[in-house]
Chain A
Amino acid sequence: MSIRQLSVFVQNEAGKLQEITDCLYASNIDIRALSVAETQDFGIFRLIVDDIDKAVSALQEEGHIVKITDVIGCKLEDRPGGLARIVKVISAIGVNMEYMYAFLTKSDSAYLVIRVEDNDAVEAALRARDIPLLEESDVTAL
């Protein structure tokens, strides 16, 4: 049920992120969602894209370090309390959230990407509360 997320290692230096965005542009990759984690030395650029396999080979070709991670995607209502509801479900089962990021779509729902240690437990908890989970095809079809 999970979505594959692409992570890229970037040196925290002027021009380094551009090497990656240029590479994705040149390969005609469409970015659906992104988040960046940074420290003083490096950044981790995390992406949900329309064609992950193509993106991985284009980046590796240019010598970038990449990693694919399974993350959970779910749909939430785009109104106050929408995010709170989901966080509450995950907290209730005692699973720690590593990181998350959200994005809006043209419809009236928002999408949330969540990285946790135990995907199965979280998916089961969300499903039990009728929170719609996303498949990779849902995201790429956007």
Chain B
Amino acid sequence: MEEKRYYQKEIETMPLEEIRRVQSEKIVKQVRNVYDNVKYYRDLMDEKGVKPEDIKGIEDIHKLPFVSKSDLREAYPFGMLARPLSECVRIHSTSGTTGKRVVAYYTQHDIDLWDECCARAIVAAGGSKDDVCQISYGFGLFTGGAGLNGGSHKVGCLTLPMSSGNTDRQMQFIMDMGATILCCTPSYAAYLGESLAENGYGPEDIPLKAGIFGAEPWTEEMRQSIQNTLGIKAYDIYGLTELSGPGVSYECEEQRGMHINEDHFYAEIINPDTGEPLPEGEIGELVFTSLDKEAFPLLRYRTRDLCRLTREKCSCGRTHVRMSKPLGRSDDMMIIRGVNVFPSQIEAVLLNEGYTPNYQIIVDRVNNTDTFDINVELTPDQFSDRVKDIADMEKKLVGAMRSMLGIGPKVHLLPPKSVVRSEGKAVRVIDKRKLHD
């Protein structure tokens, strides 16, 4: 039973002092590595007046300069590379939705490290060699498919490399192969759950017992709804292509925050405006340092994700620090009529009010004023033959949105399936204002 609970028990349950010792050893080497091999970093460090010998342990990390997505864009394609291409074995890339693509490089060591991180996540979700793990994240440049696929192999699960899409085939494999663990985006998990229900499969008929869902923000309410339709425990997983991919942090059976793989990734929380570190428990921007990646090491990388960290003891026995679900990526945040709005807040209201998580937010600008519309699907039990009933429902939903957000959207209730489903990352927001800029 013991060895089933952890993938690498000694590391995952290491006392804090030991973690710090490992981190200190690794950061000293890593700083030397990037200073010697990456001109872009050398210039940044010289500009700040920091020499590799100033970093004697992990406590000196704040002396290092930050890097951000714009640095990666500037250094594209090879400017951040710390190993010759001949030593690299693979690349992955972001979708480039917020601008130019970020391309990350991996040596075999980097791939192994990443696969191990994903293996820890799968074991934490109850996985073992006896499981059948269906990977319904996209395969290709996107890191989702490759990461969990690698982790699943390490654990020894029977791995189904489905990739995303083709929902009929996904359902067939879940049922016929007896898949016990599903890995995909939470919005696709919700869609698969709906489709299985439509085909007459209730939670007790579906062989799945766990799901590992990430790559997009999702709420606690959405977790409950996925758990109920599929009859599983749904675990969150976090990662960034810039750091390797999914598996930077993951949930254990407590489902209360994601343990960060601190032996590979050092996390800080900073004030996003001043860059000053914040004390434990405060919400701020998450900053990561990859301590032992070879090809594409990042020092103090600003993720734009807002969250908090906690070292409270976890009943699972893991000692690694936990991060809360990101409250939003600062890239996802919309400013509508001067108010900060996160799609996750809208989703929470919808689920609280008994609606499905199928929605789309449309923001536009008409006569210099922001318009804010939300399309929401109505369920059969909510439908009434009286216009007034539906108008009242719209009004109630607008009221709930207003009290959560501070501004009232226009709500449009629509028939089921009228909000376009996605098979990868859901398109929750259509911001037409950008067209006018």
Contacts and interface: CB of A to CB of B under 8 A. Distances in A.
Interface in A51-110: 63-67, 69, 98-99
Q: How large is the interface on A (under 10, 10 to 19, 20 to 34, 35 or more residues)?
A: 20 to 34
Contact of A65 (B383, B386, B387): B383
Given A9-B415, A41-B413, A115-B385, A65 B378 contact: yes
A69 B413 contact: no
Nearest to B416: A63
Contacts of A44: 385-387, 390
Given A9-B378, A39-B391, A42-B390, A67 B384 contact: yes
A11 B415 contact: yes
Nearest to A39: B387
A7 B385 contact: yes
Q: Most chain-A Cβ atoms within 10 A of its Cβ — which of B385, B387, B414?
A: B385
Contacts of B380: 65-67
Contacts of A67: 380, 383-385
Nearest to A115: B385
A67 to B, nearest CB: 5
A9 B418 CA distance: 12
A49 interface: no
Given A42-B413, A63-B417, A9 B387 contact: no
Interface string B316-342: 000000000000000000000000000
A41 B412 contact: yes
A5 B386 CA distance: 12
A15 B46 CA distance: 65
A48 interface: no
Q: Which of B386, B416, B418 has the most CB of A within 10 A?
A: B386
Interface band, chain B: 10 to 19
A85 to B, nearest CB: 25
Contacts of A46: 385
A10 B415 contact: yes
A27 B418 CA distance: 23
Contact of B415 (A5, A7, A65): A65
Contacts of B385: 5, 7, 44, 46, 67, 69, 115
Contacts of A9: 378, 383, 415
Interface string B401-418: 000000000001111111
A14 interface: no
Contacts of A10: 415
A141 interface: no
A37 interface: yes
Contacts of B412: 41-42
B362 to A, nearest CB: 13
A38 to B, nearest CB: 8
6 contacts: A7-B383, A9-B383, A10-B415, A42-B414, A64-B415, A99-B386
The 6 nearest A-B residue pairs measured at CB: A7-B385, A41-B412, A65-B383, A69-B385, A37-B387, A65-B380
Given A9-B415, A42-B412, 18 more contacts: A5-B385, A7-B383, A7-B384, A9-B383, A10-B415, A11-B414, A37-B387, A39-B390, A41-B412, A41-B414, A44-B385, A64-B415, A65-B378, A65-B380, A66-B380, A67-B384, A69-B385, A98-B388
